[in-house]
Structure 1
Amino acid sequence: MKVTVWNENRHEQTNKKVREVYPEGIHGTISAFLKEAGYETETATLEQPEHGLTEEVLNQTDVLIWWGHVAHHEVTDEIVSRVHQRVLDGMGLIVLHSGHFSKIFKSLMGTTCDLKWREANEKERLWVVAPGHPITEGIGEYIELEKEEMYGEHFDIPTPDELLFVSWFQGGEVFRSGCTFNRGKGKIFYFRPGHETYPTYYNEQIQRVIVNGVKWAAPVEREKPVYGNAKPLEEVPGE
């Protein structure tokens, strides 16, 4: 199983507070705990040639993790199309936090993926609403984060195939924070927590959810469906 962790890596270059929280970058922190969980991981960032997502890299990637925020518009349409096709072909995709507004997530959802937001150091409580799902394995009734950015409904996404987490924020809003989707042969998991100025990705329960998500999103081996004009399997009158 090979995991590629993609991060635009822009905040880490321009914001001292983010560098203090994630000295190895958000991608480095996520990659590190996935390696501890036994996964083979690589990282890729926006400034690399082809954003680090060459055909060779993507063809060898079983699950792609995506974190972006201020540079969504800088991701080229060519790379978005390349990732989109790999998802349809079976690569898993985990979209984190502000990646909800990335080109790749919006193209796979077919909606604006817009929402309410507020930065006010609020408590977030992520309630598990699918306790029997593999992604919530090992998680109690809820995950509590002392400080996080608020995302609030309405979240303009298609109705999820599965809803795993619903967040409550100290200011009163709620949000669908853990959602799964199927597109083609690929599986997608959107997971909300992870604002760049908070140490969210050091939280062991958040790490557990992402590790579980990688396992869940891994490709399933199956024969490629056959499309187009088809010969009948049985004798058909008039043939």
Structure 2
Amino acid sequence: MIKVTVWNENRHEKKNPVVGDIYPNGIHGTIAEFLTEAGFEAGTATLDEPENGLTDEILNNTDVLIWWGHLAHGEVKDEVVHKVHQRVLDGMGLIVLHSGHFSKIFKSLMGTSCDLKWREAGEKERLWVVAPSHPIVEGIGEYIELAKEEMYGEHFDIPVPDELIFTSWFEGGEVFRSGCAYNRGNGKVFYFRPGHETYPTYHNKDIQRVIVNAVKWAQPIKSNRPVYGNSQPLEKLSLNN
């Protein structure tokens, strides 16, 4: 069974009653609930827990980590970011949602500012599938339409994705690379744009399906981790002295 940890700041839910009404168990609780229903072993972790909720024990028992952050990126401890970064390089999957584009962990894995345009106006978003054969979009039609979302617009300062899965169009005219897949070391990273806290995006069945598919895609593959460093030859060397 795939083990998933859903990490969330859990700050908006406490400060904004609108968010609390939409996600009474927190964004992390809502995501963990539909992942459990999908057959995963899903747990949660939040910013204000010891070690930001990501102890060695939790990280070492996580196949795929899902990350939602916004208000308090700077409060995540650098040593926790370093541990998560290393776990990704070692094979753990990472799914970064919405405003997690500015998280320390995503920026460290991308090596760029990860900046973008934004506007909160409750406008329509249409996420077009641009990689219809990719496993992340299994069961999804040509596009996903959300009646109200926050706008993110290009230019999105990220490395060119290894695979681009979704491109969004917004009612105001902007477009955005909304589903970006990367390989980092032995791990996989997927950035998925939708999920502003004041809209019920994570209750949308298509959005849930994408996240479920992304967990399956990002899970560590069953193979021996490559050995790095000084290496002995596989064949006998013929050395000319």
For Structure 1 versus Structure 2, the TM-score category normalised by the shorter chain is over 0.9
Matched, 1:14 2:15: yes
Distance 1:225 1:132 in 2: 29
Distance 2:36 2:101 in 1: 25
Alignment deviations for residues 23-75 of structure 1 (CA, whole Å, 9 cap, x no partner):
11000100010011011110000000001100000000000000000100000
* Consecutive aligned runs of 4 or more in structure 1 exceeding 6 Å deviation: none
The one-letter code of the counterpart of 1:91 is: M
Distance 1:123 1:229 in 2: 54
Structure 1: runs of 5+ lacking an equivalent: none
**2:205 corresponds to which residue?**
204
Secondary structure of 1:212's match? Answer: helix
- Identity across the alignment (%): 76
Alignment of 1:52-91 (within 5 A): 52-91=53-92
Alignment deviations for residues 153-206 of structure 1 (CA, whole Å, 9 cap, x no partner):
000000000000000000000000000001111000000000000000000000
Cα distance, 1:221 vs structure 2: 1.8
Distance 1:211 1:229 in 2: 39
**1:155 corresponds to which residue?**
156
Alignment of 1:133-212 (within 5 A): 133-212=134-213
Cα distance, 1:237 vs structure 2: 2.3
TM-score relative to the length of structure 2: 0.98
The one-letter code of the counterpart of 1:48 is: E
Structure 2: runs of 5+ lacking an equivalent: none
Distance 2:229 2:203 in 1: 49
**2:29 corresponds to which residue?**
28
TM-score relative to the length of structure 1: 0.98
Secondary structure of 2:48's match? Answer: coil
Distance 1:228 1:143 in 2: 45
Distance 1:80 1:229 in 2: 28
Alignment deviations for residues 69-127 of structure 1 (CA, whole Å, 9 cap, x no partner):
01000000010001000001100000000000000000000000000000011100000
Cα distance, 1:212 vs structure 2: 0.2
Alignment of 1:103-122 (within 5 A): 103-122=104-123
The one-letter code of the counterpart of 1:177 is: S
Q: How many residues align?
A: 239
Distance 1:135 1:177 in 2: 13
Secondary structure of 1:145's match? Answer: strand
